[in-house]
């Protein structure tokens, strides 16, 4: 792909970016990508928490107590002090619902990772759209500035001829009106270029000055995605897998849970020699009745699974439609841009011929204005077409999952 140079003019030394560098900066550092990375980190923490709840746990503890009372004959019993310090451990031996929940959390991580890739695709798309659009706005401004310069030169020449009585004053009035119109169009295009440049700088996380100096580029064919499956589909598939795991967990919640626990401590009791004791055991629990909670959970999990299945089908359909439309639009944009390049070349040649003849007094001012307007319209039309080609390329690459 031909390089597109971007100069960000600011108080700091000027920085230069190619189109690919602008894309890379957006993909790596845009705010949307950073938010997606934070979501991945949060999902990983949730998955670790879901898994950790079923792993062995060891707790250190200490206790102290005192008490007194009466004997069976009503005599006061001496105060008795007790103390212990030790370790307590536990582990889940069997909990299918817990394991299913951990699997669902892991699938959620995979989904968030796919959403991160999708955020990168979108950031690259925005950079690919905004970069040529900025070039196009500057090209439009340049075309109108050139038009204003031509109108100014023609007005200056006409003023001398009007003063000499060789041309009517109406010609000078028309030229000045054309000059004012061209300057207004140039200012509008320059405003668009500033806004687009600021948007691009924000996307790249660069200092926002609104001042960019760009050179034209020729956008090449779409790049090939590095992944076989579009990130949007990967995210939908991960959401479906997570929903399946949650439904499994809701079903297995009816089954038993088995935990093992152990305790070892050094104890001290008044009147008893201090020593070390331990205990170990296994506990099994089996839900019998929960007021319909299990039924509600299974129904909710099944409904979520059905929704995830439909969302995956919808994502597949949307991507198929988007790819077909993007390919057609890209072909049309390429043809349109090429046709407008040819039209601009023809309009420039025609204006050069009419301008020479107008200077020699062989054609009227109306002919000269018509030729100049045709040239300017062709230049603006080409700038718009090339911006549209950049947008079409961006949509095609996004539909392919390029980032």
Total tally of structural domains belonging to the chain: 1
Q: Looking at residue 94, what is its pLDDT?
A: 85
Q: CB–CB of 37/116 below 8 Å? A: yes
**Is 351 a member of any domain?**
yes
How far, in Å, CA of 342 to CA of 78, rounded? 111
| Cross-strand partners of 94 | 258
Which residues, in sequence order, are CB contacts of 256 under 8 Å at separation 6+?
94, 284, 285, 286
* pLDDT tens digit sequence for 12-28: 334 457 788 888 889 99
How far, in Å, CA of 58 to CA of 90, rounded? 7
Domain range for 351 is: 6-65+78-400
Q: Output the CA torsion sign for 68, 69, 73, 75.
A: positive
Q: Looking at residue 244, what is its pLDDT?
A: 92
If you search the block for the tokens 């099994």, which residue do you land on?
284
Three-state DSSP string of the chain: CCCCCEEECCCCCCEEECHHHHHHHHHHHCHHHHHHHHHHHHHHHHHHHHHHCCCCEEEEEEEEEEEEEECCCCCEEEEEEEEEEEEEEEEEEECHHHHHHHHHHHHHHHHHHHHHHHHHHHHHHHHHHHHHHHHHHHHHHHHHHHHHHHHHHHHHHHHHHHHCCCCCHHHHHHHHHHHHHHHHHHHHHHHHHHHHHHHHHHHCCCCCCCCEEECCCCCCCCCCCCCCCCHHHHHHHHHHHHHHHHHHHHHHCCCCEEEEEEEEEEEEECCEEEEEEEEEEEEEECCCCCCCHHHHHHHHHHHHHHHHHHHHHHHHHHHHHHHHHHHHHHHHHHHHHHHHHHHHHHHHHHHHHHHHHHHCCCCCHHHHHHHHHHHHHHHHHHHHHHHHHHHHHHHHHHHHCCC
Question: Which residue in 110, 97, 111, 102 sits closest to 248, CA to CA?
Answer: 97
**Is 268 a member of any domain?**
yes
Q: Looking at residue 110, what is its pLDDT?
A: 92
Q: Looking at residue 156, what is its pLDDT?
A: 86
**Is 70 a member of any domain?**
no
Which residues, in sequence order, are CB contacts of 23 under 8 Å at separation 6+?
124, 127, 128
- List strands edge to edge, sheet with 257-269: 57-70, 76-94, 257-269, 272-285
Q: Looking at residue 69, what is its pLDDT?
A: 73
* Ranges of residues in the chain whose predicted pLDDT is under 70: 1-16, 215-216, 227
**Is 52 a member of any domain?**
yes
**Is 72 a member of any domain?**
no
**Is 305 a member of any domain?**
yes
Q: Provide the CATH number for the domain around residue 25.
A: 1.20.1600.10
**Is 71 a member of any domain?**
no
Q: Looking at residue 227, what is its pLDDT?
A: 67
| Cross-strand partners of 63 | 84
Question: Which residue in 349, 343, 318, 329 sits closest to 390, CA to CA?
Answer: 329
Neighbours of 233 (CB within 10 A): 19
Q: Looking at residue 395, what is its pLDDT?
A: 93
**Is 40 a member of any domain?**
yes
Question: Which residue in 163, 180, 126, 142 sits closest to 344, CA to CA?
Answer: 142
């Amino acid at each position: 792909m031909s390089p597109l140079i971007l100069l960000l003019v600011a108080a700091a030394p000027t920085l230069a970016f190619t189109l690919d560098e602008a894309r890379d900066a957006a993909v790596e550092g845009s705010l949307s990508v950073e938010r997606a990375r934070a979501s991945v980190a949060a999902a990983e923490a949730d998955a670790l928490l879901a898994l950790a709840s079923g792993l062995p746990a060891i707790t250190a503890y200490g206790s102290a107590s005192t008490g007194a009372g009466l004997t069976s004959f009503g005599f006061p019993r001496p105060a008795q002090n007790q103390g212990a310090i030790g370790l307590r451990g536990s582990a889940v031996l069997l909990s299918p619902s817990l394991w299913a929940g951990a699997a669902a959390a892991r699938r959620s991580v995979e989904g968030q990772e796919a959403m991160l890739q999708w955020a990168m695709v979108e950031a690259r798309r925005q950079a690919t759209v905004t970069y040529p659009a900025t070039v196009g706005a500057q090209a439009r401004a340049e075309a109108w500035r050139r038009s204003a310069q031509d109108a100014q030169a023609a007005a200056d020449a006409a003023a001398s001829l009007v003063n000499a009585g060789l041309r009517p004053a109406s010609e000078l009035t028309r030229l000045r009106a054309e000059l004012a119109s061209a300057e207004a169009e140039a200012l509008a295009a320059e405003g668009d270029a500033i806004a687009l440049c600021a948007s691009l700088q924000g996307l790249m996380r660069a200092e926002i000055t609104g001042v960019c100096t760009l050179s034209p580029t020729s956008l090449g064919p779409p790049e090939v995605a590095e992944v076989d499956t579009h990130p949007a589909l990967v995210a939908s598939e991960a959401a479906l897998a997570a929903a399946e795991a949650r439904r499994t967990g809701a079903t297995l919640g009816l089954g038993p849970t088995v935990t093992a626990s152990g305790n070892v401590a050094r104890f001290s009791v008044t009147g008893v020699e201090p020593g070390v004791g331990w205990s170990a055991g296994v506990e099994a629990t089996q839900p019998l009745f929960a007021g319909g909670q299990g039924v509600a959970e299974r129904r909710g999990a099944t409904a979520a699974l059905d929704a995830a299945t439909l969302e995956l089908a919808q994502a597949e359909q949307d991507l198929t439609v988007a790819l077909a439309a993007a390919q057609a639009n890209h072909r049309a944009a390429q043809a349109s841009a090429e046709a407008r390049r040819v039209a601009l070349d023809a309009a420039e040649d025609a204006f050069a011929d009419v301008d020479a003849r107008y200077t020699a007094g062989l054609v009227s001012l109306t002919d000269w204005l018509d030729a100049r307007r045709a040239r300017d319209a062709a230049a603006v039309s080409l700038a718009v077409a090339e911006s549209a080609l950049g947008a079409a390329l961006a949509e095609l690459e996004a539909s392919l999952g390029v980032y």
